[in-house]
Chain A
């Protein structure tokens, strides 16, 4: 299958399927459309991986379509701004309309020859978008059915799936674009999908958060247009590959700085993190797809794209600083969160910050660390969000304090979730491989800056371990009371999506040597050279050696030896120790004064009031604004 067809499929099929899903608002039709789309996209991404990259020039008619659609989009945003009386949206839409119009119609800009450039980085992104995205699409089928059956009323799923599927096409277009204008266009389409999906529920909270996501996304759009202007002024081109190869000057760095700021808005780095936290009001497939594994990767992708051209500059360390600062702050705030999706959201922002940090630290090892983190985080976080959605649909609460004893109420889901959590912060899985590499490169920054970064890295990763471990522990509480297990009843789509994502994560982690050699190394080799030496047991780089397979062998030993011991010694299950005051039949209670039965209560550890959002968010946001201003100052002055 030739590459042009695959590209057409990757961008075009989602558009067609989205329209089909919109028009045919029946469950069966939707299932059919989504399944066909999913299978085709997965196949297409794998074939593309095997084929390799290329450059594509498209005809003038495509450019016209893009320009027209772009203006329609901007006008739609403006309209939405007026409808909601949101001055931010209005100002930012106008702030794009006018300059974009001027840019397209007045300024003489030479056309970009190779509009679409597909290289190894784009191919990895396509793999993530198509494979992980398809799994989440399948999940969404089951989730939205359950979700709407709770709500009643007419089905609006056609609208939901329209935007959800469209996003995949927009993301693919984004990662292939070599023209800044096309990139910007697809970028704004993802903003559109994000806005519509967040406000899908139609509640006041949803609309408010949708608007916040919209205007912050539009800030990114403005930054992109500004970048286009600067690039055109300095170099007379908006072709990304030409800019990456251009002779550095202040204009080039300013372009990249503006693109970095756009990346921060999309990946919710400080100070733009609040939209992602607020976006958790959307239905869970939205969180799983857009806000953890796919759309937010667009910002990270941009930094990965730009990084090779800014090696060794102040700009790159500035971007790295913002990344690791976001990582540290969100890890600390996550310690205090009690809502499942908010913890996952803060963790996402933190990990994206870590990826940006690694990419911007700009050493061969750090760049590969960024790629590894990107790949594995998408899988693990997508899995966790999907699990959180299943649990929430059954328990009707997001409070993790109420998610006690899930191991017996929802055994399959709880086990998958626990494995997902382990995959985020413990060795055996790929995320920790990335984090290990990230710690390894922290000291490569210029001297005293490295001390600050080391401190932030250690603080951030300690906080991360803490909040995952305490949530994991809470999940493992095994109720000994005869609590009725909640109906687990996992539908076929749930089982398919959860198991395949879990299987993918485990397989990729077990085969991380292979992943490093076949997927990561070619990307790093484009600009940096060889980094890893991969054997079966050991993955070694210049800073050390990581062993994944030996740990899996140890894990197998745990189960074998532990199982043997359990089988031979056995054991009677006994109620917990309550100072002798146990109550027959109720392991959670004890006898108190006058022999009354009292249930013991333990609240979780949330570090209230030292760490509260009310205290930390305003200062962090302010710090974020300050840091971004310093970033711009670094390049302008």
Chain B
């Protein structure tokens, strides 16, 4: 494994975006950052700036208003990047998938790499999702180029 790939696996900077979630999944993501679960030990930091982020953690369903923002944030992230849809609403639209303004899950707007279902998705599942994303990253980009 090249040094670059190893670095990418060991240092994952997260941008978290709430697409219209009830905040349940957001709280669980926050919990993952707290001392009990401590994802920082894996090098995961909630960086908040798409230009410096590797992973886009999205909660909530995509709708007509936020699809533009979602796409904008995704475009502002430099490659290599991953998208993780957290929670049922982000995966498929959840209970809201039939609502008039809701487009469905976020994969209607941007490509998604990992789906973490649950309502709300539990921190352990979120961490599992991130590990899956890392494996995908390792497999996807063996030489560190995309």
Is the CB of A581 closer than 8 A to any CB of chain B?
Answer: yes
Collect the chain B residues with CB atoms within 8 Å of residue A579's CB: 69
Q: Are A580 and B70 interface neighbours, CB within 8 A?
A: yes
Tell me if A62 is interfacial: C-beta within 8 Å of chain B. no
CB contacts (< 8 Å) of B76 on chain A: these are 574, 577, 580
Interface residues on B, range: 10 to 19
Contacts of B135 in A (CB 8 A): none
The answer to whether A577 touches B49, judged by C-beta atoms less than 8 angstroms apart, is yes
A447 to B47 CA separation, bound complex (whole angstroms): 52
Report chain A residues within 8 Å CB of B51: 574, 577
Chain B, 49-84, CB within 8 A of any chain A CB? 49-51, 68-70, 72-73, 76
What string of 1s and 0s marks CB contacts (under 8 Å) between A553-597 and chain B? Answer: 000000000000000000000100101111000000001000000
Residues from chain A with a CB closer than 8 A to the CB of B68 are 580, 591
Report A-chain residues with C-beta under 8 Å of the C-beta of B69: 579-581
Bound Cα distance from A580 to B70, whole angstroms: 7
Chain A's closest residue to B75 (CB) is A574
Interface flag for B17 (CB, 8 Å): yes
Q: Bound state CA distance, A582 and B68, in angstroms?
A: 9
- Complex Cα gap A581–B68 (Å): 8
In the complex, chain B residues whose CB is within 8 Å of the CB of A574: 51, 76
A40 CB, min distance to chain B CBs, angstroms: 58
- The B-contacting residues of A in range 415-470, CB under 8 angstroms, are none
Chain B contact surface mostly? helix
Q: Provide the bound-state CA to CA distance between A129 and B70, in Å.
A: 63
Question: Which residue of chain B has its CB nearest to the CB of A572?
Answer: B78
Tell me, in angstroms, the Cα distance from A577 to B51 when the chains sit together: 8
Chain B residues with CB under 8 Å of A591's CB are: 68
**Bound complex: CA A579 to CA B48 (Å):** 10
Complex contacts, A580 vs chain B, CB 8 Å: 17, 50, 68-70, 72-73, 76
Complex-state Cα separation, A582 to B51, whole angstroms: 14
Identity of the chain B residue whose Cβ is nearest the Cβ of A579 in the assembled complex: B69
Contacts of A577 in B (CB 8 A): 49-51, 76
Query: Please, which residues of chain A bring their CB within 8 A of the CB of B72?
Result: 580-582
Q: Which residue of A lies closest to B72 (CB)?
A: A580
Kindly state the separation between the CA atoms of A228 and B63 in the bound complex, as whole angstroms: 87
Question: In whole Å, how far is A585's beta carbon from the nearest beta carbon of chain B?
Answer: 13
Contacts of B70 in A (CB 8 A): 580
Complex: A568 Cα to B68 Cα, angstroms: 33
Nearest CB to that of A595 among chain B residues? B65
Chain B CB count within 10 A is highest, among A577, A580, A581, A582, for A580
Output the nearest chain B residue to A581 by Cβ-Cβ distance: B69
* Neighbouring A residues of B50 by C-beta, 8 Å: 577, 580
- Beta-carbon nearest neighbor of B50 in chain A: A577
Q: With a CB–CB cut-off of 8 A, which chain A residues contact B49?
A: 577
Residues of A near B17 (CB, < 8 A) are 580
A540 CB to nearest B CB, Å: 44
Inter-chain CA distance A577–B50, complex, in Å, is: 8
Q: Which residues on B sit within 8 Å (CB–CB) of A581?
A: 69, 72
- Closest B residue by C-beta to A574: B76
| A212-270 interface with B by 8 A CB criterion | none
Tell me the chain A residues, 514-536 only, with Cβ under 8 Å from chain B: none
Chain B neighbourhood of A582, CB < 8 A: 72
A591 to B71, CA, bound (A): 14
What's the least CB distance linking A595 to chain B, in Å?
8
Complex Cα gap A580–B109 (Å) = 14
User: Closest Cβ of chain B: how far from A364's Cβ, in Å?
Assistant: 53
For residue B47, give the distance in angstroms from its CB to the closest CB of chain A: 12
Over the window 66-107 of chain B, the binary record of Cβ atoms lying under 8 Å from chain A Cβ atoms (1 yes, 0 no) is: 001110110010000000000000000000000000000000
CB distance from B146 to the nearest CB of A (A): 14
Which of B49, B70, B76 is packed against the most chain A CB atoms within 10 Å? B76
Closest to B52 in A: A577
**Cα distance A266–B17 when bound, in Å?**
63
When chains A and B are docked, how far (Å) is the Cα of A296 from the Cα of B17?
Answer: 60
B73 → A minimal CB distance (Å): 5
Residues of B97-137 whose CB lies within 8 A of A: none
Q: How far is the CA of A582 from the CA of B69 in the complex (A)?
A: 8
Q: In the complex, A574 Cα to B52 Cα: how many Å?
A: 13
Shortest CB distance A219–B (Å): 58
What 3 A-B pairs are tightest by C-beta distance, nearest first? A580-B69, A580-B72, A580-B73
Listed A/B pairs (19) with beta-carbon separation below 8 Å: A574-B51, A574-B76, A577-B49, A577-B50, A577-B51, A577-B76, A579-B69, A580-B17, A580-B50, A580-B68, A580-B69, A580-B70, A580-B72, A580-B73, A580-B76, A581-B69, A581-B72, A582-B72, A591-B68
User: A residues engaging B (CB < 8 A)?
Assistant: 574, 577, 579-582, 591
Can you add 8 more A-B contacts, CB < 8 Å, to A580-B17, A580-B70? A574-B76, A577-B49, A577-B76, A580-B72, A580-B76, A581-B69, A581-B72, A591-B68
Interface residues of B (CB under 8 A from A): 17, 49-51, 68-70, 72-73, 76
